[in-house]
Amino acid sequence: MYTNVNLAAPVGVLAFLGTGLLILVAALTLVGSLVARKFRFAKFVLIAMLVIAGLYLGAMLAFSLAGREKVLARGEEKHFCEIDCHLAYSIANVRQTKTLGSAPNQSTAQGVYTIVTIKTRFDETTIAPWRGNGLLYPNSRVLTLVDERGSKHAPSDVAQHALDATQTSVTPLTAPLRPGESSTREIVFDLPADVKSATLLIHEGDFVTHFIIGHENSFLHGKTRFQLDLSAAPIACSSPDTTLWEATLLPSAFDSTIVHAHQQ
């Protein structure tokens, strides 16, 4: 199982909260010692604070260095640990088009629109027996696409609006789910037309995750990304006046290319 942590999420969260509490108590004690002019004791408390912080940072660095970079092929899942359960994300489809939507909401790409269909699944095998069938509300998600040249791309707000306007209903990437349920969401990126390969990073957006031991957002921790091979589907003109360009990745070519790259 590929996850966004390499330390059990409950352990990482408890370590963060426990260390924070110890440092807070020590800081209050330090202030009280200085006010009471007990400088020797204040020095001892300060040293204790530095030791606690050093041990925590050392543990965080150790788990970060142990976290390796991973690139997942199409269909492989990345699990996000939500304390007592997992949400699994995978790439269901990738397609490209030059334009999206229809007037007055039509949008034309500066390069080419790459539309990634992301599947979210609430893995019911990862929940505690006593949890029940209640809804799980995911934490915020951040998506970053990195092309073969190392350039980073965020989703295109304009193109996303044009795409969503053509659909009868839109399911947010962070829509709540019950155990066993799944949903899909199409996310649009505007990429240079000559980009043939890219990776997609889906990770948590909460800033505090940068300080959780074993979390992929922590400093120097390896990331688990999804491979997107765009070379299997050259962009083709679908109308004589070139107002609409569209291409969809061929499943057989896409799968064989990804599997070969993953095995290497």
pTM over 0.85: no
- Phi first, then psi, for residue 254 (nearest 5°) are -60, -50
How far apart are the C-alpha atoms of 87 and 124, rounded to whole Å?
9
Domains and CATH numbers, the chain: 70-263 (2.60.40.1240)
Question: Is there a contact between 188 and 113 (Cβ–Cβ < 8 Å)?
Answer: yes
Distance between start and end Cα atoms, the chain: 19
pLDDT of residue 263: 43
Residue whose pair of structure tokens reads 């890219």 in the numeric block: 198
Q: Which residues contact 189 (CB under 8 A, 6 or more apart)?
A: 113, 114, 115, 116, 145, 153, 154, 155, 156
Whole-number mean pLDDT of the chain? 86
Q: How many CB atoms lie within 10 A of CB 140?
A: 12
| Structure confidence by residue, pLDDT tens digits, 97-127 | 999 988 777 899 999 999 999 999 999 988 8
Whole-number percent of the chain with pLDDT over 70: 86
Decide: helix, strand or coil at residue 221.
coil
Tokens in use for 60? 């965080």
Find the helix or strand (DSSP H, E) in which 26 lies.
helix 9-35
Question: Is there a contact between 58 and 51 (Cβ–Cβ < 8 Å)?
Answer: no
Question: Is there a contact between 211 and 60 (Cβ–Cβ < 8 Å)?
Answer: yes
